[in-house]
A = this chain, B = another copy of it.
């Protein structure tokens, strides 16, 4: 490492001179990579919104813009495939700003030797997910890399959405006393992926929760629910999502463990695997922050939608503090949640 390169990189990320798998896992190491290297490199007010999509003013219109890379392994899993995941993930990032998704793009990095039939299946799956949301993949790019320089197929999708309401939905909208709702049961995506990858045969096949939440968010807005903040649960699970929002908003938060829906199949699989469902990845679940006064209205809308059937109030926002998150169990004992260091499950999305 020469001195001039040190000058360009004045903030090493912890003790690491090289990227390790944990830097992609959604935990503290990834947070360090983003906070100490990526964000400072690109510093600008839009990036500093710290939200799933950037909210931009374009010619007097409020647009949401987002991008995500997908490296999930295996490419096909119960409940979805990398194509459905890539489209739904981008739709969800737009929805988390309360944007109506309009247009999507896709960049494919294909490994030499990848079966053309598999590619056709993934493309069909992407298109089906885009069409179901009333959007389309309007532009794209295809690259091929040598055998051994990829892993079948990586996809990066971007999306543009239009914000047609006046709410400022994001971490800055969180208020003391807000109710924290969860749209459904957690942990299915992570368990589905690991079971498929490792060939584990549980009693019940767990299907990924991979789904597009934009329709459900649209219903909530149409019903007049004043949403303060939305966040979909991905890498790092429910715990990482709530911890990030607590840190970014500066409010302490408390979750009630008993109120968090986990199916018996996911709970059983997590026990066998030694995972905590709170930290397992999801791809079709979100937390919602709102005033206590609109919770009943929101639950009515959520319960009427297939993706919100099991929605529940799982906690509330406390006072402005250090952004700590407590988990209260059935006996009233509160333990403080922490971000995992690296990752439980690599390449989950």
Contact = CB atoms under 8 A, between A and B. Distances in A.
A65 B150 contact: no
Contacts of A142: 23-24, 30, 33-34, 38, 69
Given A1-B117, A115-B18, A44 B138 contact: yes
B20 A67 contact: no
Interface stretch (A51-59, A209-217, A274-282, A298-306): A51-59
Contact of A105 (B12, B71, B121, B158): B158
Please give the count of copies of this chain that the complex contains: 2
A126 B158 contact: no
A148 interface: yes
Contacts of A143: 24, 69-71, 154, 347
A96 B56 CA distance: 22
A293 to B, nearest CB: 32
30 contacts: A5-B120, A8-B120, A17-B116, A17-B117, A18-B116, A19-B115, A19-B119, A21-B112, A21-B146, A23-B142, A24-B142, A25-B144, A37-B120, A38-B108, A41-B126, A42-B136, A46-B138, A47-B140, A54-B103, A54-B105, A58-B63, A58-B102, A58-B160, A59-B61, A60-B61, A69-B156, A71-B145, A109-B156, A141-B156, A143-B347
Interface of A: 1, 5-6, 8-9, 12-13, 16-25, 30, 33-34, 37-38, 41-42, 44, 46-47, 53-54, 56, 58-61, 63, 65-71, 102-103, 105-117, 119-121, 123-124, 126-127, 130, 136-146, 148-151, 154, 156, 158, 160, 162, 346-347
Contact of A67 (B34, B116, B139, B346): B139
Main secondary structure of the interface of A (DSSP, over half): mixed
Contact of A139 (B47, B110, B119, B149): B47
A151 B121 CA distance: 26
B67 A107 contact: yes
B139 A19 contact: no
A146 B68 CA distance: 18
Contacts of A347: 143, 145-146
Contacts of A146: 21, 151, 346-347
Given A6-B117, A19-B116, A25-B144, 7 more contacts: A18-B114, A19-B110, A37-B119, A46-B138, A65-B158, A68-B141, A107-B158
Given A17-B115, A140-B67, A103 B23 contact: no
Nearest to A111: B19
A20 B151 CA distance: 14
Contacts of A60: 61
